[in-house]
Amino acid sequence: MMITSSRFPVAVHILALLAMQQRSLSSTYIAGSVNTNPVVIRRILHTLSQAGLVTTQLGSDGGATLARSPEAITLLEIHRATEAGELFGLRNSQPNQYCPCGSNIQPVLSKVFHRVEDAMQGVLGETTLAQVVEDIETRRSAVK
Amino acid sequence: MMITSSRFPVAVHILALLAMQQRSLSSTYIAGSVNTNPVVIRRILHTLSQAGLVTTQLGSDGGATLARSPEAITLLEIHRATEAGELFGLRNSQPNQYCPCGSNIQPVLSKVFHRVEDAMQGVLGETTLAQVVEDIETRRSAVK
DNA sequence: TAGATATGTAACTATAATGGTTACAGAAGG
DNA sequence: CCTTCTGTAACCATTATAGTTACATATCTA
């Protein structure tokens, strides 16, 4: 199974688009770039808004804008906003508590899972939206 | 979303049990420790067998045994055997190729995802089954 | 050789997450 | 007022997961 749903990649896409265009964009416009339904975009924008990463404006000529500069937004924040719960987890299994292995395996695994999660968050935390946009711009000029 | 299905944690549980008991165990016995159905255990044992981590024996007095010493089995191998596909991925989204952002976002994200995956695999690769068993034994004596 | 005990594996089911879709209420601007 | 947005509910199809029953087949032992 893959780590993430499509929400995280789509959220990065949305924010990169907002950073590149530097203006208010409607969910319909963004959906055109992502190639999905506007409601899917609005749902993600809502969670990004709650996380303080974008501000949205109701009404005619409304839409979404970045709430902060791209340099001040890390992929870790975006990931935390869009992917709920623990990344690595034990789900609902309840091993036999009368077995020497079953009664101790879960805390031991949790420790390993935390180390894995820390490693992942390290990488995401040191990558900013500005770097993503820069990479996109570099590819644009390279391809041309 | 969580990173793994329950297959990976259950596989580690199975292998730790085999390492601790140092004898052939039946799927029914293992299922008693994991607290699930024997067929679920057999399915996971099958993939572990294909990965060369256990050997299984048909017939009466059959069962599974470790194919290698616990020191020579890393959690990364177990994870690769039990969780198919990429850890971090882009699923099936196809952004608008006529958009400057949409046409470049995926390779840029892939690069980030690879860094994340490398970091995670680093942690899993340096953790052995022997260490997991040792942690379990330590907890056993501590609780007593 | 017969019976007991295993694995191997197909088939079915329930459950949950995901993402796409329609529909509509309400806000904001011209 | 009318148009253009967001916010949000409701519904559906798809997919992954894991639990379950059932049975063929292999192997050991008496």
pLDDT tens for A16-48 read 999 999 999 999 999 999 999 999 999 999 999
Please report, rounded to whole angstroms, the spatial distance between the CA atom of protein residue B83 and the C1' atom of nucleotide D14: 21
- Confidence at residue B143, expressed as pLDDT on a 0 to 100 scale: 67
- Confidence at residue A144, expressed as pLDDT on a 0 to 100 scale: 59
Judged against a pLDDT cut of 80, whether residue A75 lies above it is answered with: yes
- Confidence at residue B10, expressed as pLDDT on a 0 to 100 scale: 98
In which band, very low, low, confident or very high, does the pLDDT at B2 lie, cut at 50, 70 and 90? low
Rounded percentage of chain A residues whose pLDDT exceeds 90: 88
Instruction: Collect all residues of chain B within an 8 Å Cβ-Cβ radius of residue A91.
Output: 2, 5-6, 9
- Confidence at residue A88, expressed as pLDDT on a 0 to 100 scale: 74
Q: Is the CB of B39 under 7 A from strand D?
A: yes
- Give nearest nucleotide to A31 (CA–C1'): C20
A125/B contact by beta carbon, under 8 A: no
The CA-based angle A127-B80-A90, given to 5 degrees, is 75
- Confidence at residue A2, expressed as pLDDT on a 0 to 100 scale: 65
Please report, rounded to whole angstroms, the spatial distance between the CA atom of protein residue B39 and the C1' atom of nucleotide C3: 23
In which band, very low, low, confident or very high, does the pLDDT at A80 lie, cut at 50, 70 and 90? very high
pLDDT tens per residue, range A90-139: 777 899 999 999 999 999 999 999 999 999 999 999 999 999 999 999 99
Judged against a pLDDT cut of 80, whether residue B20 lies above it is answered with: yes
Per the prediction, chain B carries an average pLDDT of: 94
A114/B contact by beta carbon, under 8 A: no
In which band, very low, low, confident or very high, does the pLDDT at A87 lie, cut at 50, 70 and 90? confident
Cα B43 from Cα B34, distance rounded (Å): 14
Rounded percentage of chain B residues whose pLDDT exceeds 90: 88
The CA-atom distances, in angstroms, between B73 and each of A106, B67, B87, B124, B143 are 19, 10, 20, 11, 27
| Closest residue by Cα to residue A74 from A2, A131, A30 | A131
- Confidence at residue B129, expressed as pLDDT on a 0 to 100 scale: 98
Stretch B47-75: mean pLDDT, rounded? 98
Cα A30 from Cα A66, distance rounded (Å): 13
> Are A11 and A19 spatial neighbours (Cβ–Cβ below 8 Å)?
no
- Confidence at residue B4, expressed as pLDDT on a 0 to 100 scale: 76
